Amino acid sequence: MWGKNDLIDKDSNRRELSVWGQAPNSQTRGKEMVEAMKKLDVLAVVDPYPSATAAMAAMVRKDGVYLLPACTQLETSGSVTASNRSLQWRERVIRPLFEAQTDQAIMYAFAKKFGWGPQFVKNYELWKPDGDAKFEEPTPESVLKEINVATWTIGYTGQSPERLKLHMKNQNTFDVKTLRANGGPCDGDYYGLPWPCYGTPEIKHPGSPNLYDE
C-alpha cells in the first residue's frame, strides 16, 4: 500500500517487492495479490524453486520480475535451530547447482548494488566457498558470531560455531533422553546448547534443556 510522497519518509513510491523464501499459497486473497503485482515496478522472488508468487506474477506480467535461485540446505553450511531450541551445525554436501547462490551471497549482492555493501559486512569475514565462485559472501561462522553478540535477552550468546561443531563431532557422547553429554570434550553440555545459553562461549554455559520447570 502506498501513500502520498509528502507523507512518507522515503524519496518516492518505488513500488518494489522482494519475496524471500515465502509464498502466498496459504493466503486467501489471491485475486487482490495478483492486482497488487500488476502495480509493482519490480518483483524479485528468491527461492530454491519457482514459488506460487512467481507463478502468479507470470500470469499478469511480462517484465520486471526476477527469479533468483537460492541454495537448498544441502548446498550451504551454517547453524540451524530446532523447535526444541537446540542448535546444530550443518556442513555443505555439494556445491550450489547451476546459478544458485546462498542467501548470504544474495543479500550481500543486493547490499552492494544498493550502495551499502561495506556497512552490511562490517562485522563479517568474507570468502568465496569455491575459490573461483562469482559471488563473495559472509562466512556462516561470522554471521552466527554477530547473532551471539546481539541476542543477550534470550540467551542466544553461548552457542559459538566452535562449540556447535564440537557437538556434531561428538554426538555419541550425548544421552538421547536427557540430551546431556557424559564424558568427552562436551561433558555436561546439553546437545545443541539449547537457548537460553547465557554469557560468552568461553563461560561454557551448558544450555537449558527445559524452558519452563514448574
Residue whose entry in the numeric block shows the C-alpha cell 510522497: 5
> Per-residue DSSP letters for 164-186?
HHHHHHTGGGB-TTT-BB-SSTT
- Over residues 69-84, the pLDDT tens digits come to 999 989 999 999 999 9
∠ CA 129-134-138 to the nearest 5 degrees?
45
- pLDDT (mean) for 77-103: 92
Q: Are 75 and 67 in contact (CB under 8 A)?
A: no
Cβ neighbours of residue 93 under 8 Å, at least 6 residues apart?
A: 74, 75
Catalogue the long-range contacts made by 107-114 (C-beta closer than 8 Å, 24 or more residues apart): 108/135, 108/136, 108/137, 108/138, 109/135
Q: Are 142 and 123 in contact (CB under 8 A)?
A: yes
Q: What angle do the packed helices 52-60 and 30-39 form, to 10 degrees?
A: 60
Beta strands 137-138; 126-127: pairing state = antiparallel
- The pLDDT value given to residue 134: 76
Nearest to 166 by CA among 146, 205, 140, 193: 193
Taking the CB of residue 99, how many other CB atoms lie within 10 A of it? 9
- The pLDDT value given to residue 183: 95
- Say what the alpha-carbon torsion angle 35, 67, 92, 164 is, to the nearest 10 degrees: -40
Question: For residues 131 and 137, what is the distance between their CA atoms, to the nearest angstrom?
Answer: 12
- The helix/strand/coil state of 110 is helix
Record the pTM.
0.82
Question: For residues 138 and 124, what is the distance between their CA atoms, to the nearest angstrom?
Answer: 6
- pLDDT (mean) for 44-66: 88
- Over residues 12-34, the pLDDT tens digits come to 666 888 889 887 777 788 888 88
Question: For residues 97 and 139, what is the distance between their CA atoms, to the nearest angstrom?
Answer: 19
- Out of 23-27, 116-120, 131-135, 207-211, least confident range: 131-135
Beta strands 65-69; 126-127: pairing state = unpaired
Q: Are 94 and 74 in contact (CB under 8 A)?
A: yes
